[in-house]
Structure 1
Amino acid sequence: MTAPILFVIPTFNRAPDLPRTIRAIAAQDWPKEAIAVLVVDNSSTDNTAEVVAGLAATLPIRLDYHRKAPEGPSIARNAGLARAPEDGYCAFVDSDVELDPGWTRATVTAMEADPQLALVAGPLVFGHNRALLNCYGGALSPLGLAWDLEEGSPVSAADAPRDALWLNSSAILARTKPVRATGGFDARFFYAYEEPDLCLRLALEGWRCRLVPDAVAIHHVGSDIGRSHADFVFHHVKNRLRMGLKCFSAGTLAWWIPVATAHALLDAVLHVPKRTRLRGFVWNLRNLPDTLRARAAVQARRTVPHGQAFRLMETRWFPPTRLGGLRRRPVEGIVVGNVADDRAAR
């Protein structure tokens, strides 16, 4: 029996990009009757609804549209996860991503070959230069800093299957049951660290994340980058700290809390926007009771020790290349300028 898959596309004001994303899903090497697509619209102000309706009338797959409050991609993905087939799969695909026709078959094949896999993804390549990787998995340092692996490397770096501590949700296949059981994406994470947080919680329950080289996805991001918007700096700081407080073992927290606190405060002193970085730290103090309740729920579901769950954690404490306040790290073909951050309240 062919596994049913719900493709969930969170979006905000991406009407021009949606036809490319949705048509690529409809063109997957997978039975059309087993494919359903749900566009979760975070209150777009463009013609997203009309674009989806037009595609639904012409494509040979089921295509639905759900409009919701602008609460961010995490809650949008959870809205789709709630509708995914219990014994099937849920694929999360961003609205600026184009899947290679073999993406679905490659990810499902890997999933069905290994019952302990919860998430599967593949090489995410740049749309402006498909010979370069945007990422092939994600890294996490002992300090809790996350970054994309192989960013800017040639696609040949994604030459073999391998496990990763976390996967980029731009294009990812999820086994519905365990991801739903662990609570999906943290609803308090508007943006940033939602993938490492989910993958750490799954790892604590004995699940694994896998990368397969044949599951290629193309990320159509702009080739011009500017500085990261202050709102997203805030979310990076607050979510990184909340993730560690929820997921790390009590023994780890004994040293991690003072070290992470010192890092957060020093970061707020040395790097702009200073008040925004400090606000991310203060948010965790004000919301500590909620975070501790979330921690209790996470730790109650733990089935493996910290060392086993986080065996793929990096030994280095900082990314090999700092963002330096930019929207993303510059690689070949990407120029740094004054382009506004292309993310918005979505």
Structure 2
Amino acid sequence: MKAPTVLTIILNYRTPDLTLKSAGAALRAMDGMPGEVLIVDNDSGDGSFARISAEAEARGWTAQGRLRVVDAGRNGGFGAGMNFGIRTGLSGGEAADFYYLLNSDAWPEPDAIRHLRDFLVTHPGAGLAGSFVEGEDGVPHRAAFRFPSIAGEFEMAARTGPVSRLLKSAIVAIPVPETETRVDWAAGASLMLRAEMLEQIGLFDETFFLYFEETDLCLRAARAGWDTYFLPQSKVIHLGSASTGMKDWPRTPSYWFESRRHYFAKNHGRPYAAAATLARVAGQAIWQMRRAVSGKPQADPDRFLRDLIFHDMRAGRQRPMRIPPFPVPHTVAKDKK
């Protein structure tokens, strides 16, 4: 029986050094496995494409036929860039059996990709599998989650022990599982997708520019009968927010609010989305009262609550979904020279 193929996709946006480090780690982890590594430049516009292409050629990666560098031609966000890579497929023109999505600031351990692939091979009901993620300091990152909900929004904003204990079953970020565990959704920093699942539910919804896209994909998969798993034996080092700058946001960008609202409105309806925002506002009010009493530091970017309400009020009608089908008429992307 022919071994299943894996296409590892790394999306670059103005992080060429990190992307090259990620690609090197991915190639080592892919050693002996049928498949390829594909670097997709998301229209960085800073010379990233030329630099990565030249460096990959100089290191002999492209000559071995194990790695290609392609230009998406536009920056449509994370989901659109990954969709471009999935549609590009393997260099022979065929689709892969599995697609491994890897952040440009993440580096898989030597057996990380193999663990994900082997698990999906032996668990035909699993559509997605995510990795254990930790920082360079060895501190584990939260990478396994429950789906967002009204109760979860309230708990997240309140940041108060009694509220969290009361709503513990709604807390979005769950403690890091120590064994293979079925979860609602897993972080897209290191996530493997089954092609058969994508054939059924389609690719990422490109309405999301950034954030909530993998949450939405896992929810669509779950509704179609596919499970998502977290595998602690698949280990990845992740810097976190290197290309988005989330850790240093002085103010939350518009696309985060738009993605959040689209997720709730699309999957649960506009009244539910409005209720989720009201729950967030109510939880935030509790947190602000705690801050006033205890002198706790600010925990959100500037004007977060004001921006949240503003974006919800001006949202208007629900945006149309943009979910490309899989498979699609295949056109192998041309490597720019």
TM-score with structure 2 setting the length: 0.72
Question: 2:54 matched to which residue of 1?
Answer: 53
Amino acid at match of 1:239: S
Provide the C-alpha distance between the structure 2 equivalents of 1:266 and 1:272, rounded to a whole number of angstroms.
16
Asked whether the 8 Å contact 1:121–1:210 carries over to 2, the reply is yes
1-structure distance, mates of 2:29, 2:273: 46
Q: Which runs of 4+ in 1 moved over 6 A?
A: 222-225, 267-271
Report what 2:103 is aligned to. 94
Superposed CA offset, 1:199-246 (max 9, x none):
1111111111011121111102489985425353x3333222221222
Partner of residue 258, structure 2: 238
Q: Judge conservation of contact 1:71–1:190 (CA < 8 Å) in 2.
A: yes
- The answer as to whether partners of 1:238 and 1:283 remain within 8 angstroms in 2 is no
Are 2:283 and 1:262 aligned?
no
- AA partner of residue 65 (structure 1): V
Over aligned residue pairs, what C-alpha RMSD do you find? 3.1
User: CA, structure 1 residues 254+78, in 2 after alignment: closer, same or farther (shift >3 Å)?
Assistant: closer
Give a deviation string over 1:143-192, Cα, whole Å, max 9, x none.
Answer: 16485433xxxxxx542000110111111111123225423222111111
TM superposition shift of 1:31: 2.3
The residue matched to 2:185 in structure 1 has which SS? coil
Structure 2 partner of 1:10: 11
Aligned residues: 279
Assess if the C-alpha contact under 8 Å between 2:22 and 2:106 holds in 1: yes
Change (3 A) 1:20 1:254: closer
Q: Which whole-Å deviations, capped at 9, do the CAs of 1:25-50 have from their partners, x for residues lacking one?
A: 11015425522323233324144422
CA 204–137 in structure 1, closer or farther in 2 if over 3 Å, else same: same
1:160 is aligned to 2:176: no
Q: Which amino acid aligns with 1:111?
A: L
Q: Which residue of 1 aligns with 2:25?
A: 24
Which 10-residue stretch deviates more, 162-171 or 72-81?
72-81
Structure 1 residues 27-38: aligned runs within 5 Å: 27-31=28-32, 33-38=34-39
1:99-118 alignment runs, 5 A limit: 99-118=108-127
1:276 and 2:307 matched: yes
Checking the alignment, whether the CA contact within 8 Å between 1:14 and 1:48 is kept in structure 2 is: no
Alignment of 1:1-346 (within 5 A): 1-31=2-32, 33-57=34-58, 58-59=60-61, 60=64, 61-84=66-89, 85-86=94-95, 88-127=97-136, 129-130=137-138, 132-143=139-150, 145=153, 147-150=172-175, 157-221=176-240, 227-232=248-253, 234-248=254-268, 256-263=272-279, 272-285=303-316, 287-288=317-318, 290-291=319-320, 294=321
Distance 2:29 2:181 in 1: 23
Q: How far did 1:79 drift?
A: 0.7
- TM-score w.r.t. the length of structure 1 is 0.71
Q: 1:283 to 1:102 in 2, by over 3 A?
A: farther
Q: 1:273 to 1:160 in 2, by over 3 A?
A: closer
Structure 1: runs of 5+ lacking an equivalent: 151-156, 298-346
CA contact (8 A) 2:4 2:34 kept: no
Residue 23 of structure 2 contacts residue 37 of structure 2 at CA under 8 Å; is this kept in 1? no
- Counterpart code for 1:53: A
| Cα offset, 1:136, TM superposition | 3.5
Unaligned runs of 5+ in 2: 154-170, 289-301, 324-337
**Aligned-partner Cα distance in 2 for 1:244–1:225:** 21
Q: Which amino acid aligns with 2:122?
A: A
Change beyond 3 A, Cα 1:268–1:94: same
